[in-house]
Amino acid sequence: MDAKAETTEKLSDDDLITSAMEALHKPPPAAPAHAMTLPSPPSTLPDMPTATSPTLEALDPNRRPKFATACEGCPNSVWFTSPTEVKCYCRVMYLVTWSVKEPNQITACDGVFVGQDD
């Protein structure tokens, strides 16, 4: 048995809880230089075409998604409207990916590549 395991076994439950609570208030350790950092998600998608869907292009801009979505330029998305609703159905994932009631901001998706030759 290693020394750390022996030390842990000797601590009471109260001591372990106190130690854990103290650790929560300490700053996190610095990441090693070789650690990979993930980019933050973009607020807009400048490389995506805007409203390639005829349905979206025909809508007043205030009824379109306020933040760019990958679905707006995807050939696998089907946008449809009613007098009170705008929705996008994904033919790859078989679900509604965006609606006025649930405006999910999908910023990237591999669905655009489905059906393309390598």
Residue 89 bridge partners (DSSP): 78, 96
**Per-residue pLDDT tens digits for 48-72:** 444 578 999 899 999 999 998 999 9
pLDDT tens-digit map of 92-105 = 999 999 999 999 99
88: tokens are 């996008």
For residue 82, give both structure tokens: 């009613």
Strand-by-strand arrangement of the 77-81 sheet: 77-81, 86-90, 95-99
Q: How high is the pLDDT of residue 93?
A: 92
What tokens does 50 get? 């805007």
Which sign does the torsion angle of CA 16, 21, 26, 27 carry?
A: positive
Q: Is the model more confident about 1 or about 22?
A: 22
What ranges do the domains of the chain cover? 54-113
Torsion angles phi and psi, residue 4, rounded to 5: -65, -45
pTM above 0.75, yes or no: no
- pLDDT band at residue 46 using 50, 70 and 90 as cut-offs: very low
Name the nearest CA neighbour of 59 among 87, 34, 39, 33. 87
How far apart are the C-alpha atoms of 96 and 87, rounded to whole Å?
A: 7
pLDDT at residue number 33: 61
**3 — phi, psi (to 5°)?**
-65, -35
| pLDDT for position 45 | 45
Q: Is the pLDDT of residue 22 over 50?
A: yes
pLDDT at 12: 84
